[in-house]
Amino acid sequence: MPIDPVKPLIVQSDRTLLLDVHSGGAEEARIAIMPFSELEKSPEHIHTFRITPLSLWNAAGAGFSPGDVVSALETYSRYPVPPGILAGFTDTMARYGKIRLVGEAALPAATGDGSPVDTAADRPMDVETLPGELFLIAADPAIRAEIEAAGALKKYLSKTALGFRLRLTDRGSVKQELIKLGWPVKDEAPLVSGEALDIRLRTQCRDGKPFGPRDYQVEAARAVAGNGKGGTGYGVVVLPCGSGKTVVGMIVMSLLKTNTLILTTNVAAVHQWMDELIDKTDLEREQIAEYSGDSKSVASVTVATYQILTWRPRKDGDFPHFTLFRARPWGLIIYDEVHLLPAPVFRVTAELQAVRRLGLTATLVREDGAEDAVFSLVGPKRYDVPWKDLESKGWIAEALCTEIRLDMPEDLKIPYAVASPREKYRIASENPLKEYAVRQLVENHGEDHILVIGQYVKQLESLARILNVPLITGKTPNAERERIYGAFRRGEVRVIVVSKVANFAIDLPDASMAIQVSGTFGSRQEEAQRLGRILRPKGLSAEGLQSGGLNSWFYTLVSRYTVEEDFAANRQKFLAEQGYKYTIQHWTADELSPERMER
């Protein structure tokens, strides 16, 4: 294969792919490699992708072959593809499908030596079946031996002549353990249609404004509902905050036309989903129900919180609200903010593998490293697009990211020096100079709608008093939260102080600035969500371009020469990898002294 300097892709022997976004064919190449690679970073000029076992299993699950992978790389590669990695693709992808999970109806017969064969003969008499059982089938005796020897699987599996038997409730646990061993399970349970629901998108919102989904939203929805490659009906869509993931969910609902259960992070998000469904679909209010701590009703479309589902009266007790998953013949379950899917919901999700599933998220990064669990139980990633791509087209606002480093006051330096590691972080996070910095930033941005976001309630209460603005924390009643959010959306309140409860699934389209005073130990996931709060575009023209040319501002306040700088470096890396310019400023204690602030 000759060198072609015009082609956009560089394939490296460590399975890293470098995409030159300025080369011709870069967009075609990106589309070609997305099914089998993971986007790691996407700054201005070179986007970095990595081919991993999980990404290759994603591709295999979607119907791609090793030949498809090799063809895509050779088509767009600037240099000859390293031959050593090509054979590895075949070996890795071949693991998908070696182990099958089937129901009794699909159970094959067994030969005299106990190995399964593909015949229509009767099932062996020694296999006892009970309702709700599943079977693991592996044709290779070595694989069966490895499964039998795995200590983590012993409590779930019973050996049979055909392989192994397991309870329906252990389905997810078995799949998760097997993927940790490098064996992705091919789950062949059929997908149910659910009870029919005729749902259509409106061409006008209820207030008369024109509505039509954007091209990438339609592409994302079709990639899950059906893309012609097999493995359709389930999967994850990764789109930036502010890009309209809710609309993607509604498009999928309109394509599948079935009873739908929507799970999201809090009551405010429940109400936003309900408002959007009423505004942009032909559903009537009585067809949509809320299932939360405030209201527990069920309808053709039901929107519930993760919190209510994971509530139980005792730590070792059952989850009484899991009955919601069987309350109606659901044909689709939408997991909003799927990267936050709680561990208990993973278990019940495993029982619903026959139901079509859509995961929505701005980032597949899970701080617990459980991305493979999302793959096993919700589905493979079906659609992804870099944040900067949507920004360049005006679909999300341009963000200017600044870290402001503040000196520690003299009277806190000794307490900080002798504190435990966790207490050091809190002392640095609650640096009192941050209050003066917040005041200064709010005054400097007199026209912006501002969110002041933090981790520690005492600090947030002080900031709310100083600024004389509303405060929202986990203890704020849902009705009061929605009243404050509503006032912010209407422009009656320009600044609000919020705890981490506002990280997720809150639609505040006019927020143009965020001031982050403290966070969760440099969480990349949290940074993505907080940045997303201000990325919703302002002043869109009919073509989707920003007519007002407004920027969004993202400030992070960090105490200088403390552990906060170390954690901030992790967040800074995430922003830089997404393509955002990140500047650092130093504001001295003298500049922020009370005397100077009063002048």
pLDDT of 499 over the 50 cut: yes
Q: How confident is the model at residue 229 (pLDDT cuts 50, 70, 90)?
A: very low
Match 């015009």 to its residue by tokens.
6
Read off the pLDDT of residues 30-77 as tens digits, 9 standing for 90 and up.
888 988 888 777 777 898 999 999 889 878 877 789 999 999 999 999
Alpha helices, DSSP H, located in 150-260: 171-180, 215-225, 245-256
Enter the tokens of residue 61.
Answer: 């699950």
Positive or negative, the Cα torsion across 82, 84, 87, 88?
A: negative
CA-CA distance, 225 to 258, in Å (whole number)?
12
Q: Are residues 566 and 433 in the same domain?
A: yes
Q: Is the CB of residue 362 less than 8 Å from the CB of residue 385?
A: no
pLDDT at 123: 33
372 and 409 part of one domain = no
Q: What integer pLDDT is reported at residue 595 of this predicted model?
A: 52
**According to the model, what pLDDT value does residue 122 have?**
32
SS3 188: coil
pLDDT value of position 550: 58
The pLDDT, as a whole number, for residue 494 is: 93
Q: What is the mean pLDDT of residues 355-377?
A: 78
What's the average model confidence in pLDDT over 403-417?
Answer: 93
Cβ(379)–Cβ(359) below 8 Å? yes
Structure tokens at 137: 């089938």
> Residue 176 domain-assigned?
yes
Per DSSP, helices labelled H in 281-342 are 306-309
Are the CB atoms for 505 and 268 separated by under 8 Å?
yes
Does residue 130 carry a pLDDT above 60? Answer: no
CATH code for the domain of 229: 3.40.50.300
Give the model's pLDDT for residue 528: 57
CB of 34 within 8 A of CB of 384?
yes
In 3D, which of 125, 122, 150 has the Cα closest to residue 136? 150
Q: Is 22 exposed, middle or buried (0-12, 13-18, 19+ CB in 10 A)?
A: exposed
Give 248-258 pLDDT, tens digit per residue. 999 999 999 99
Query: What is the mean pLDDT of the segment spanning 168-186?
Result: 84
Model confidence at 545, in pLDDT bands (50, 70, 90)? very low
Same domain, 233 and 374: yes
Distances (CA, A) of 318 to 132, 291, 311, 321: 18, 18, 9, 9
Handedness of CA 26, 249, 507, 292 (dihedral sign): negative
| Residue 559 belongs to some domain of the structure | yes
DSSP string for 216-232 = HHHHHHHHHH--SSSS-
Is the pLDDT confidence value at 4 over 80? no
DSSP-derived letter for residue 513 is E
Q: How is the beta sheet containing 381-384 ordered, strand by strand?
A: 288-291, 301-305, 260-264, 332-335, 356-361, 234-238, 381-384
Question: How high is the pLDDT of residue 189?
Answer: 63
Same-domain pairing of 466 and 509 = yes
Q: What are the DSSP calls for 369-396, one per residue? A: --HHHHHHHT--EEEE--HHHHHHTTSS
Q: Are 40 and 117 within one domain?
A: no
Of these ranges, 157-171, 401-415, 502-516, the one predicted with the greatest mean pLDDT is 401-415
CA torsion angle 243 194 355 294 (round to 10): 60
Pick the residue with more confidence: 582 or 570? 582
163 and 123 housed in the same domain = yes
pLDDT at 504 over 90: no
Report the residue count for the chain: 599
Residue with tokens 């078995």: 174
Please say if the pLDDT value at position 576 is more than 80.
Answer: no
Phi, psi of 280 (to 5 degrees): -120, 0
210 in a structural domain: no
Residues β-bridged to residue 515 = 452, 555
338 versus 536: the higher-pLDDT residue is: 338
pLDDT of residue 577: 58
The domain boundary residue, chosen from 385, 406, 423 = 385
Domain end, chosen from 385, 420, 442, is at 385
Per-residue model confidence (pLDDT) at position 3: 74
Weakest mean pLDDT among 380-389, 396-405, 469-478, 504-513: 504-513
Distance (Å) of CA 522 to CA 161, 382, 445: 51, 28, 26
Q: Same domain for 528 and 398?
A: yes
pTM: 0.70
Residues 439 and 542 reside in one and the same domain:
yes
Do residues 420 and 485 share a domain?
yes
| pLDDT, averaged across the chain | 81
The total domain count for the chain is 4
Q: How far is CA 28 from CA 25, 47, 216, 567, in A?
A: 5, 14, 15, 37
Q: Considering the domain boundaries, does residue 586 fall inside one?
A: yes
Task: Supply the range of the domain harboring residue 290.
Answer: 215-385
* Residue 539, in any domain of the structure: yes
Q: Are 433 and 412 in contact (CB under 8 A)?
A: no
Quick one: pLDDT at residue 524?
53
Q: What is the pLDDT of residues 555-575, one digit of tens each?
A: 989 999 998 887 777 666 666
Domain co-membership, 496 together with 431: yes
Does the residue 227 lie in any domain?
yes
The last residue of one of the domains, among 71, 94, 117, is 94
What's the pLDDT band for 408 if we cut at 50, 70, 90?
Answer: very high
Asked if the structure places residue 195 within a domain, the reply is no
What residue ranges in 213-327 does DSSP mark as E strands?
Answer: 234-238, 260-264, 288-291, 301-305
- Give 440-492 pLDDT, tens digit per residue: 999 998 888 898 989 899 999 999 999 999 999 988 888 898 899 889 888 89
- The verdict on 292 and 249 lying in the same domain is yes
Q: Which has more pLDDT, 221 or 112? A: 221
User: What is the mean pLDDT of the segment spanning 175-182?
Assistant: 89
Distance CA 18, CA 36 (A): 14
CA-based diameter of the chain, in Å? Answer: 92
Residue 50 CB contacts under 8 Å (≥ 6 apart), including other chains:
15, 16, 17, 37, 38, 40
- Are residues 88 and 172 located together in one domain of the fold? no
Residue with tokens 């809150």: 506
Does 191 map to a domain? no
Q: Where are the beta strands (DSSP E) in 315-455?
A: 332-335, 356-361, 381-384, 398-406, 450-453
